[in-house]
Structure 1
Protein backbone atom coordinates (compact mmCIF):
# COMPACT_ATOMS: atom_id res chain seq x y z
CA UNK A 1 0.00 0.00 0.00
CA UNK A 2 1.22 3.50 -0.79
CA UNK A 3 0.70 6.87 0.85
CA UNK A 4 -1.45 9.65 -0.52
CA UNK A 5 -1.24 13.37 0.05
CA UNK A 6 -3.79 14.36 2.69
CA UNK A 7 -3.01 18.04 3.06
CA UNK A 8 -0.71 20.75 1.83
CA UNK A 9 0.51 23.33 4.33
CA UNK A 10 1.24 26.87 3.22
CA UNK A 11 2.93 29.22 5.68
CA UNK A 12 1.51 32.71 5.37
CA UNK A 13 1.20 36.02 7.18
CA UNK A 14 -2.58 36.26 6.82
CA UNK A 15 -4.41 32.89 6.88
CA UNK A 16 -7.82 34.60 6.60
CA UNK A 17 -6.88 36.35 3.37
CA UNK A 18 -5.27 33.32 1.78
CA UNK A 19 -8.04 30.96 2.91
CA UNK A 20 -10.55 33.26 1.20
CA UNK A 21 -8.42 33.45 -1.97
CA UNK A 22 -7.70 29.73 -2.27
CA UNK A 23 -11.30 28.81 -1.37
CA UNK A 24 -12.49 30.86 -4.35
CA UNK A 25 -9.77 29.47 -6.64
CA UNK A 26 -10.44 25.82 -5.77
CA UNK A 27 -14.13 25.87 -4.84
CA UNK A 28 -13.13 24.87 -1.29
CA UNK A 29 -14.76 25.79 2.00
CA UNK A 30 -13.38 26.28 5.47
CA UNK A 31 -13.36 22.98 7.33
CA UNK A 32 -11.44 23.89 10.46
CA UNK A 33 -9.52 26.42 12.52
CA UNK A 34 -6.65 25.86 14.91
CA UNK A 35 -5.91 27.81 18.10
CA UNK A 36 -2.77 29.20 16.46
CA UNK A 37 -4.84 30.94 13.75
CA UNK A 38 -4.31 28.33 11.04
CA UNK A 39 -7.27 27.70 8.76
CA UNK A 40 -7.94 24.45 6.92
CA UNK A 41 -9.92 24.48 3.69
CA UNK A 42 -11.10 21.62 1.52
CA UNK A 43 -13.82 20.43 -0.81
CA UNK A 44 -17.36 20.89 0.53
CA UNK A 45 -18.23 17.99 2.83
CA UNK A 46 -14.61 16.87 3.04
CA UNK A 47 -12.67 16.00 6.13
CA UNK A 48 -8.96 15.58 6.71
CA UNK A 49 -7.70 12.39 5.08
CA UNK A 50 -10.23 12.28 2.27
CA UNK A 51 -9.45 11.45 -1.36
CA UNK A 52 -8.65 15.09 -2.23
CA UNK A 53 -6.04 16.94 -0.19
CA UNK A 54 -7.00 19.82 2.04
CA UNK A 55 -5.00 23.03 2.30
CA UNK A 56 -3.85 24.31 5.68
CA UNK A 57 -2.98 28.01 5.78
CA UNK A 58 -0.58 28.26 8.69
CA UNK A 59 0.25 31.61 10.28
CA UNK A 60 3.97 32.40 10.10
CA UNK A 61 6.03 35.55 10.40
CA UNK A 62 9.15 33.90 8.94
CA UNK A 63 10.33 35.73 5.85
CA UNK A 64 10.19 33.76 2.63
CA UNK A 65 13.57 33.06 1.04
CA UNK A 66 13.25 33.11 -2.75
CA UNK A 67 11.10 31.03 -5.04
CA UNK A 68 9.04 28.28 -3.44
CA UNK A 69 10.59 24.83 -3.93
CA UNK A 70 7.08 23.37 -4.33
CA UNK A 71 4.12 25.00 -6.01
CA UNK A 72 0.52 24.24 -6.87
CA UNK A 73 -0.71 23.65 -10.42
CA UNK A 74 -4.39 24.25 -11.18
CA UNK A 75 -6.49 23.43 -14.24
CA UNK A 76 -9.75 25.03 -15.32
CA UNK A 77 -12.86 22.86 -14.99
CA UNK A 78 -15.77 24.88 -16.34
CA UNK A 79 -14.18 27.39 -18.72
CA UNK A 80 -11.15 27.73 -20.97
CA UNK A 81 -7.73 28.83 -19.76
CA UNK A 82 -8.15 32.46 -20.83
CA UNK A 83 -11.45 32.85 -18.99
CA UNK A 84 -10.00 31.16 -15.89
CA UNK A 85 -6.97 33.45 -16.02
CA UNK A 86 -9.28 36.47 -15.96
CA UNK A 87 -11.17 35.00 -12.99
CA UNK A 88 -7.96 34.34 -11.03
CA UNK A 89 -6.63 37.83 -11.73
CA UNK A 90 -9.95 39.31 -10.55
CA UNK A 91 -9.60 37.30 -7.30
CA UNK A 92 -6.22 38.90 -6.62
CA UNK A 93 -3.67 36.69 -8.38
CA UNK A 94 -0.79 38.50 -10.06
CA UNK A 95 1.34 37.41 -13.02
CA UNK A 96 4.71 36.08 -11.87
CA UNK A 97 8.02 35.49 -13.63
CA UNK A 98 10.04 32.52 -12.44
CA UNK A 99 12.07 32.31 -15.62
CA UNK A 100 9.47 30.35 -17.58
CA UNK A 101 10.21 32.25 -20.79
CA UNK A 102 7.83 33.09 -23.61
CA UNK A 103 5.62 30.69 -25.48
CA UNK A 104 4.79 28.29 -22.65
CA UNK A 105 1.28 26.85 -22.46
CA UNK A 106 0.74 27.77 -18.81
CA UNK A 107 0.49 30.99 -16.82
CA UNK A 108 2.63 31.49 -13.73
CA UNK A 109 0.75 33.49 -11.11
CA UNK A 110 1.23 34.48 -7.49
CA UNK A 111 -1.40 34.48 -4.78
CA UNK A 112 -1.96 37.63 -2.68
CA UNK A 113 1.14 36.82 -0.56
CA UNK A 114 3.38 36.10 -3.55
CA UNK A 115 3.25 32.28 -3.50
CA UNK A 116 3.67 31.05 -7.06
CA UNK A 117 1.23 28.69 -8.74
CA UNK A 118 0.57 27.71 -12.34
CA UNK A 119 -2.63 27.75 -14.35
CA UNK A 120 -2.34 24.94 -16.88
CA UNK A 121 -4.14 24.87 -20.21
CA UNK A 122 -5.97 21.53 -20.13
CA UNK A 123 -9.58 21.73 -19.02
CA UNK A 124 -10.42 18.82 -16.71
CA UNK A 125 -13.67 17.41 -15.40
CA UNK A 126 -14.62 18.60 -11.92
CA UNK A 127 -14.56 15.97 -9.18
Structure 2
Protein backbone atom coordinates (compact mmCIF):
# COMPACT_ATOMS: atom_id res chain seq x y z
CA UNK A 1 0.00 0.00 0.00
CA UNK A 2 1.15 3.52 -0.78
CA UNK A 3 0.41 6.57 1.31
CA UNK A 4 -3.16 7.73 1.77
CA UNK A 5 -4.60 11.03 2.88
CA UNK A 6 -5.07 11.16 6.66
CA UNK A 7 -5.59 14.91 7.20
CA UNK A 8 -6.37 18.00 5.19
CA UNK A 9 -5.09 21.33 6.52
CA UNK A 10 -6.87 24.55 5.74
CA UNK A 11 -5.72 27.98 6.94
CA UNK A 12 -8.58 30.21 8.11
CA UNK A 13 -9.34 33.28 10.23
CA UNK A 14 -11.99 31.65 12.43
CA UNK A 15 -11.56 27.89 12.94
CA UNK A 16 -14.68 27.67 15.13
CA UNK A 17 -16.99 29.15 12.47
CA UNK A 18 -15.45 27.12 9.67
CA UNK A 19 -15.45 24.03 11.88
CA UNK A 20 -19.19 24.33 12.50
CA UNK A 21 -19.77 24.72 8.75
CA UNK A 22 -17.69 21.69 7.74
CA UNK A 23 -19.05 19.56 10.61
CA UNK A 24 -22.57 20.18 9.28
CA UNK A 25 -21.58 19.60 5.63
CA UNK A 26 -19.70 16.34 6.32
CA UNK A 27 -21.46 15.12 9.50
CA UNK A 28 -18.13 15.46 11.36
CA UNK A 29 -17.47 16.28 14.99
CA UNK A 30 -14.80 18.35 16.72
CA UNK A 31 -11.97 15.99 17.64
CA UNK A 32 -9.50 18.44 19.17
CA UNK A 33 -9.04 22.10 20.00
CA UNK A 34 -5.37 23.13 19.94
CA UNK A 35 -3.78 25.78 22.19
CA UNK A 36 -3.17 28.09 19.19
CA UNK A 37 -6.88 28.23 18.32
CA UNK A 38 -6.71 25.61 15.59
CA UNK A 39 -9.36 22.93 15.42
CA UNK A 40 -9.36 19.34 14.23
CA UNK A 41 -12.62 17.92 12.94
CA UNK A 42 -13.35 14.49 11.59
CA UNK A 43 -15.58 11.45 11.52
CA UNK A 44 -16.96 10.22 14.83
CA UNK A 45 -14.53 7.30 14.86
CA UNK A 46 -11.66 9.80 14.85
CA UNK A 47 -8.31 9.94 13.15
CA UNK A 48 -7.11 7.00 11.07
CA UNK A 49 -10.46 5.80 9.72
CA UNK A 50 -11.53 5.66 6.10
CA UNK A 51 -12.04 9.44 5.93
CA UNK A 52 -9.36 12.07 6.54
CA UNK A 53 -9.65 14.58 9.34
CA UNK A 54 -9.47 18.30 8.65
CA UNK A 55 -7.25 20.65 10.61
CA UNK A 56 -8.50 24.23 10.49
CA UNK A 57 -5.35 26.17 11.24
CA UNK A 58 -5.75 29.72 12.54
CA UNK A 59 -4.24 32.36 10.25
CA UNK A 60 -4.87 35.99 11.18
CA UNK A 61 -4.23 37.18 7.64
CA UNK A 62 -5.42 35.37 4.53
CA UNK A 63 -2.61 34.00 2.41
CA UNK A 64 -1.93 35.75 -0.89
CA UNK A 65 -3.39 34.11 -3.98
CA UNK A 66 -5.64 31.12 -4.19
CA UNK A 67 -5.47 28.31 -1.68
CA UNK A 68 -3.67 25.22 -2.94
CA UNK A 69 -6.22 22.94 -1.34
CA UNK A 70 -9.88 22.48 -1.83
CA UNK A 71 -12.30 19.76 -0.92
CA UNK A 72 -14.61 17.78 -3.19
CA UNK A 73 -17.78 16.45 -1.61
CA UNK A 74 -20.48 14.02 -2.76
CA UNK A 75 -23.98 13.69 -1.34
CA UNK A 76 -24.69 10.42 0.47
CA UNK A 77 -28.41 10.57 1.24
CA UNK A 78 -29.93 12.84 -1.41
CA UNK A 79 -29.39 13.91 -5.00
CA UNK A 80 -27.00 16.66 -6.03
CA UNK A 81 -29.61 19.40 -6.34
CA UNK A 82 -31.07 18.71 -2.89
CA UNK A 83 -27.57 18.72 -1.42
CA UNK A 84 -26.76 21.97 -3.22
CA UNK A 85 -29.77 23.61 -1.54
CA UNK A 86 -28.66 22.26 1.84
CA UNK A 87 -25.11 23.58 1.39
CA UNK A 88 -26.35 27.01 0.30
CA UNK A 89 -28.58 27.06 3.38
CA UNK A 90 -25.54 26.35 5.57
CA UNK A 91 -23.71 29.40 4.20
CA UNK A 92 -21.97 28.16 1.05
CA UNK A 93 -22.23 30.38 -2.00
CA UNK A 94 -21.65 29.81 -5.71
CA UNK A 95 -18.11 30.53 -6.93
CA UNK A 96 -17.29 31.48 -10.51
CA UNK A 97 -13.98 30.07 -11.69
CA UNK A 98 -14.87 30.19 -15.38
CA UNK A 99 -17.25 27.26 -15.59
CA UNK A 100 -19.17 26.74 -18.81
CA UNK A 101 -22.38 25.64 -17.10
CA UNK A 102 -22.08 22.18 -18.65
CA UNK A 103 -20.06 20.71 -15.76
CA UNK A 104 -21.38 17.80 -13.72
CA UNK A 105 -20.36 19.59 -10.50
CA UNK A 106 -21.05 22.85 -8.69
CA UNK A 107 -18.18 25.09 -7.58
CA UNK A 108 -18.97 26.67 -4.22
CA UNK A 109 -17.19 28.73 -1.58
CA UNK A 110 -17.43 28.15 2.16
CA UNK A 111 -18.13 31.09 4.53
CA UNK A 112 -14.49 32.28 4.30
CA UNK A 113 -14.29 31.98 0.50
CA UNK A 114 -12.45 28.64 0.26
CA UNK A 115 -13.56 26.92 -2.93
CA UNK A 116 -14.93 23.39 -2.94
CA UNK A 117 -16.91 21.30 -5.39
CA UNK A 118 -20.14 19.37 -5.01
CA UNK A 119 -19.80 16.41 -7.37
CA UNK A 120 -22.74 14.73 -9.11
CA UNK A 121 -22.42 11.11 -7.99
CA UNK A 122 -24.24 10.07 -4.84
CA UNK A 123 -21.87 7.96 -2.71
CA UNK A 124 -22.57 5.21 -0.22
CA UNK A 125 -22.22 6.70 3.28
CA UNK A 126 -20.09 3.66 4.36
TM normalised by structure 2 equals 0.94
Partner of 1:24: 24
Return the alpha-carbon distance in structure 1 between the equivalents of residues 85 and 45 of structure 2.
28
Partner of 2:10: 10
Structure 2 stretches lacking a partner, 5+ long = none
**Per-residue deviation, 1:67:** 2.6
Return the alpha-carbon distance in structure 2 between the equivalents of residues 110 and 27 of structure 1.
18
TM-aligned CA distance change 1:99 to 1:66, over 3 Å: farther
After TM superposition, which residue ranges in structure 1, 4 or more long, deviate above 4 angstroms? none
**Per-residue deviation, 1:105:** 1.1
Aligned residues: 126
**Per-residue deviation, 1:100:** 2.0
Partner of 1:81: 80
Partner of 1:97: 96
TM-aligned CA distance change 1:101 to 1:64, over 3 Å: farther
Return the alpha-carbon distance in structure 2 between the equivalents of residues 111 and 61 of structure 1.
17
**Per-residue deviation, 1:117:** 0.1
TM normalised by structure 1 equals 0.94
SS in 2 for 1:10: strand
